[in-house]
Amino acid sequence: MPVVNLNRKVFDKLVGKKLTTEQLKDRISYLGTDLEKIDDKEIIVEVFPNRPDMLSEQGFSRAFSSFIGVKKGLRNYKVIKSTYKVIVDPSVRSIRPYTACAVVKNLRFDDEKIREIIQIQEKLHVTFGRDRKKAAIGIYPMEKIKWPIKYLAKKPNDIKFQPLESNKIMTSIQILNDHPTGKRYKHLLEGKDKYPLFVDSNNEILSMPPIINSHNVGKIDERTKDVFIECSGFDFNTLKQTLNIIVTALDDMGGDIYSVEINYGKKFVTPNLNPVEMKLDLNYVNKLLGLNLKQNDVKKYLEKMGHDYKSKVLIPAYRTDILHPIDLVEDIAIAYGYENFNELIPKISTIAEENKFEIFKNKIADLLVGFNLIEVSSYHITNNKEINNYMNLDNDYVKLISSNEEYNALRTSMIPNLLKILGNNKHNEYPQNIFEMGNIFRKGKTETGIEEETRLAVVLCHSKANFTEIKQIIDSLLENLGLNCSTENIEHNSFIPGRVGKIIIKGKETAIIGEIHPSVLVNFGIETPVSVFELDLIKLKELL
């Protein structure tokens, strides 16, 4: 969950009431966030992913002020109509097709406000924007821009500009390969024959989303009064919600919000800060909470959470987490106070059932223990040196941000972890025959960009460990499950040539098997032969 550092002085001013440290500790925790630290200068809180609107001093104090009853109810934000236009070219349709934009004027920036802007932008990038994949945000000083603005795509070789915090003009390829930010987000444009750009009427490049802004027209400073904001991505609704969170925070800083017309051929105007209406049944609320609330009670509690309640609930445009009436019920529960609920044992009798996949895994474990193998458990987190360098490989992997060298990656295979265990236990007697079942991780096309697989790895380590013995283990395991397999020779840098293969079950590749290469053994500090197989348990279960 994202951790946000809030300026205590700014927070107190925006809340409209100064509370003691002890009072803040109590109330912040009951708002539904984890308080990590508080002192006279700052408040550090961990915000749950469902509340991206609270990732700034303005958003957090807005929610907190309403919660403690200082500024209750729906906040009204005015959007001033303007003539600003963004023209979306068809060339971005297959690259990064949508954008939502706004202008905010009359801001008074200083170092603190710039820090606040950068924090909310980056926190939204990481969370709601899925590390810029789902939504990327650009903020630009208006005095350097000539309208209208175009959102288009060009071939990489046709793109040159000075990226943010660089002292020279670079091509798009150089930015992706040499600039620190470009290298970090390069994967978001991999495989694209064109890259998206925001360009003004002077043909000045504002940015190359979702990578980086221009240093010339994409950097705000203390002289900036008016800003242009754009959000780009793949879902127009997500971009509108992201924009709403940012512009309302800037409004709370003292800015005035202006609309922008976006022309896709069909015209849209953003932002739209009108509240969303949702019906809420009183009986539904009371049944779920076990309370006997009246309409006025519900109205009072919803107002404490920043909503309005008439015949329907009016939900703020920045509350992206309210998708269903159950979300409103949760808000009512928070406002009522979890400390005020009575603990009751429900009068419901239920029968639990063990997960079928876990039953399957337990059966596998029992069979392997019967083969005199010992089950072990290791961490999901490892490092590139062990999963690639030590294994004579150069595979892609999921990197961990803000990590040390020892734990900077998610494992892509079970085998390196087991070899590390053997290397750490060479002072113990042999044979050392072990196995582990667990998850491995790889980059994929899921929403998070990460796919998980459940694997089984078996390792035999003693003076006579060889291919034949490890093959006997997997044959016996499959025979007990009513399956047969065949083996096909392959080449793999982690194994001895000619002593490695893939296991085929019912025509599907299910495992890799072989004797570990001596150079790999040396890398892990192992002085005894090792044979191993790694098997896809999910695929095996499906074959059964």
Range 396-403 average pLDDT: 84
pLDDT tens per residue, range 31-59: 888 888 998 899 999 988 889 999 999 99
Inter-residue contact 512 to 487 (CB < 8 Å): no
CATH 3.50.40.10 for domain 79-270, yes or no, is yes
Top-level class of domain 356-543 = alpha beta
Question: Do 459 and 534 contact (CB within 8 A), yes or no?
Answer: no
pLDDT at residue 351 above 90? Answer: no
In what side-by-side order are the strands of the sheet with 267-270? 212-213, 205-208, 195-199, 149-154, 85-88, 260-263, 267-270
Give me the pLDDT at residue 310, please: 87
Q: Identity (one letter) of the amino acid at 49?
A: P
Q: For residues 204 and 110, is the Cβ–Cβ distance under 8 A?
A: no
Say if strands 450-461 and 530-536 run parallel, antiparallel, or are unpaired. Answer: antiparallel
Least confident interval from 26-40, 309-323, 518-532: 26-40
pLDDT at 88: 97
Is it the case that residue 156 has pLDDT exceeding 90? yes
Give the gyration radius of the chain's Cα atoms.
29
What is the domain partition of the chain in residue ranges? 3-67, 79-270, 277-340, 356-543
Per-residue confidence at 335, pLDDT binned at 50, 70, 90? very high
pLDDT at 514: 97
> Is the pLDDT reported for residue 1 higher than 80?
no
Give the model confidence (pLDDT) of 67-96 as tens digits. 999 999 999 999 999 999 999 999 999 999
Q: Which residues contact 39 (CB under 8 A, 6 or more apart)?
A: 8, 21
3-state SS of 153-216 is EECHHHCEECECCCCCCEEHHHHHHHCHHHHHHHHHHCCCCCEEEEECCCCCEEEECCCEEECC
pLDDT bin (cut points 50, 70, 90) of residue 366 is very high
Phi, psi of 528 (to 5 degrees): -125, 145
- Asked if pLDDT for residue 304 goes beyond 90, the answer is yes
Q: Average pLDDT of the chain?
A: 93
Query: What's the token pair of residue 17?
Result: 């009431």
CA dist., res. 482 & res. 371, Å (int): 17
Confidence band of 286 (pLDDT split at 50, 70, 90): very high
Within a 13 Å sphere around the CA of 188, how many CA atoms are in the beta-carbon half? 26
Sequence-separated contacts (24+) of 131-136 with Cβ below 8 Å: 131/449, 132/185, 132/188, 132/210, 133/188, 133/210, 133/233, 133/449, 134/233, 134/234, 134/235, 134/238, 134/447, 135/231, 135/232, 135/233, 135/238, 135/239, 135/242, 136/209, 136/210, 136/231, 136/232, 136/233
pLDDT in tens, 434-489: 999 999 999 887 777 889 999 999 999 999 999 999 999 999 999 999 999 999 99
Please give the Cα distance from 523 to 500 (Å, whole number).
19
- Looking at residue 2, its pLDDT comes to 81
Between 23-27, 101-105, 203-207, the lowest mean confidence (pLDDT) is in 23-27
**pLDDT recorded at residue 461:** 97
Torsion, CA 524, CA 525, CA 531, CA 535, rounded to 10? -20
Q: Contact at 8 Å (CB) between 439 and 378?
A: no
- 270 touches 246 (CB < 8 A): no
491-523 pLDDT per residue, tens? 999 999 999 999 999 999 999 999 999 999 999
pLDDT of residue 432: 96
Q: What is the model's pLDDT at position 252?
A: 96
Q: For the sheet with 486-489, list strands across it.
A: 374-375, 432-443, 450-461, 530-536, 508-516, 495-505, 486-489
The secondary structure of 461-493, three-state, reads ECCCCCHHHHHHHHHHHHHHCCCCCEEEECCCC
**What tokens appear for 313 in the block?**
């609930």
Q: Cα-flanking dihedrals φ and ψ of residue 488, to 5°? A: -120, 135
Nearest Cα neighbor of 533 from 414, 452, 361, 396 is 414
CATH of the structural domain 277-340, one choice from 3.40.50.620, 3.30.420.40, 3.40.50.300, 3.30.56.10: 3.30.56.10
Contact 492, 500 (CB under 8 A): yes
Residue with tokens 């808000």: 331
Q: Do domains 3-67 and 277-340 have the same CATH topology?
A: yes
Q: Name the DSSP class of 35.
A: E
What is the model's pLDDT at position 405?
77
Alpha helices by DSSP H, 253-324: 282-289, 295-304
Are 234 and 148 in contact by the 8 Å Cβ rule? The answer is: no
Q: What share of the chain is helix, strand, coil (3-state, %, to 5)?
A: 35, 25, 40
CB 4 within 8 A of CB 10: no
pLDDT score recorded for residue 274: 96
DSSP, res 385: I
202, pLDDT greater than 90: yes
DSSP label of 127: T
- CATH class label, 3-67: alpha beta
Predicted confidence at residue 506, as pLDDT, reads 93
- Identify the pLDDT of residue 208: 97
pLDDT confidence of residue 225 = 94
Under the banding of pLDDT at 50, 70 and 90, the label for residue 97 is: very high
d(CA 95, CA 351): 50
